[in-house]
Structure 1
Amino acid sequence: MKFKSLLTTATIALGLATGAVAQDKTKVGFVYVGPVGDGGWTYEHNKGRLAVEEHFGDKVETVFVESVPEGPDAERVMTQMALDGADLIFTTSFGYMDPTINVAKKFPDVKFEHATGYKTADNVSVYSARFYEGRAVQGHIAGKMTKSNTIGYIGSYPIPEVIRGINSAYIHAKKVNPDVEFKIVWAYTWFDPAKEADAATVLIEQGADVILQHTDSTAPQAAAQEAGNVITFGQASDMGEYAPMPRVSSIIDNWAPYYIARVQAVADGTWSTANTWDGIGPGMVEIGEISDAVPADVKEEALALKAALADGSYHAFTGPLKKQDGSDWLADGETADDGTLAGMNFYVEGLEGEIPQ
């Protein structure tokens, strides 16, 4: 009986210890707009999640739901994650903004991090990357390499993030090639290979020999490869399987350091609401390898532009610049403020067509 009593005491002690460990484990949820294997936006966010698991080991548990539509279904998924005990939830698409705010109100003890939005709360932070810096580098290469002087751009949705990218790419293509023109097709999707392929085909038929995209699948790369003599750029991830042609470089989103830091803050009890917007310098935006299809002098220029953006000696939106309607925007040497960029709803001078409402 004495042995049994000691064993029972030891079992209870072990149970209490195990419970304490379980209680100390941080549970982190991720809500994705696309599939984790798409090789683009969601793929890179999921790489960040995997980096969290590798960094923290058994101190953290992560869960995710992929291909969640923006809207009511997103709110349902976030609610279930919170009910299942998530301490921190990353919601990784612009259209999740209002659902994130709504669910956060119901779960004040859960921390939320919303990607690319602007609405915050006591338990909601926002974060994004200065993708427009990468677009500047792409625009430079595109302007130098186009032979038709027609560059096609596949837009997802006409939100400030996408409009900034179009403007930045155009400004820097125009700087090195005054004859360049942009043709823009709006796909109204983040991830739909069929729509993206159709958009790329339409642009190629209109004479574009360079395709840029703000959509997430590799379908435009495949369409360009089939057409031949068309160059592309990887979006959000390297898409290096299409290198050295048609994909000649890429923008890569590196979320891992941010995710690790924010999970650590929750674990430490130091998390607070923040608005993070980092670019090439801090490493949140990376430029994928520039392939040998790009002439050596163009590659050197592109890398010099990347370095200037990284160290802050150059800003992608530096005047003189006018708006599409011809009105003055930035004087010579003046740079755009973050407030204007965050809410950008206009094209710069030279771009044709209207921004859809």
Structure 2
Amino acid sequence: MERLKTCYNEFLEILGRNEEYKAVALLKGSAFTIDTNNKPTIVCSGDFAASHIKINFLKRIEDFFKDKCGDNIDINVIVDAKFVKENNIEEEILIEEKITNENIIKSNNINIEKNIEKSNLNKKFRFDNFIQGNNNKYVFEAAKLVSSKPGIEYNPLYIYGSVGIGKTHILQAIGNNYLEIKPNAKVCYIDGSGFRDEYIHGLQIKKPDIFKRKYKSLDMFLLDDLQLLESAQETSKELFEIFQVLDNAGKQMVFVSDKPPKELRNIEARLKNRFEKSLILSIEPPQYETRLAIIERKINDLNTSIGEEIMKYMAENITTDVRKIEGAIRSYLSVRDIMKITPNIEQCEEMNIFKDYFTSKP
């Protein structure tokens, strides 16, 4: 029993190191035990958690147990809210600290690394490694302003644009920069689906007040992929209440979406109205020069080099989702390393090195 519990806790630690915070929260919000038939069992407080664990994590857990214990171990997943409440003594703490990823301040000397982690921020997203161009200059300057003077100007700030053009980077950079200035601040970064899941989980375990208290006590609220709350009427109503409290308290809010407020559908009308009155900025797809600068930065980050001809070739053909740039670079490098050649443009086309990354086939 203890050996299996140790393995289970080690698995959770690995998830945490990999920044899979929602997974850690979901699993720790359940209880791990051995049933009367001596079978390891994950006991969940509701059907949502049980289903999510079965679909997304059960095989990973069983594979991990096999690697650690050397045996095939089947794990049951069941629903028993009463058992969880009676046996999982961490539950309420986890709901408030882990599931919601709240940046709870326990000491004036708190380590900023832990502060960033609890805020659900990725520290690699910073202003100093964000490539500026004509497509994002205004957004960049506005983001720096709200991170240094939150709640004073541009509150709330609403940013929108298509996929893969740096919205998430700029959003998390706001939070990371603010924590550099004010390490003890309560900051939360989360996307629309995570916010919705937290709200639903709070209802399932009959502890919605913990969810409300967490968000209403923030100093800075960063919500990504707002469009994922379309058709989630109850969740958007709850978001409006949180919006009201934070707005009245002068706390900074930044919302990111793939569409402007006027195009949002099935969102709480009062909330949509407030978005339309905020500062609304768009990020456009980067121009050629900016794309080339991004490629050069990515290659430099990988501590390698690629010929100028190939870099320009990539910049000319990856025109929308710039997240594909890193994939294209790695594809090229893998061929170069495996085949022991340095492909030119003609060879790249013959070998289809970039076929999965270019916006349109050249």
Task: Please state which band the TM-score falls in when normalised by the shorter chain.
Answer: under 0.3
Q: TM-score, normalization: structure 2?
A: 0.24
Q: TM-score, normalization: structure 1?
A: 0.24
Q: Give the strand-richer structure, 1 or 2.
A: 1
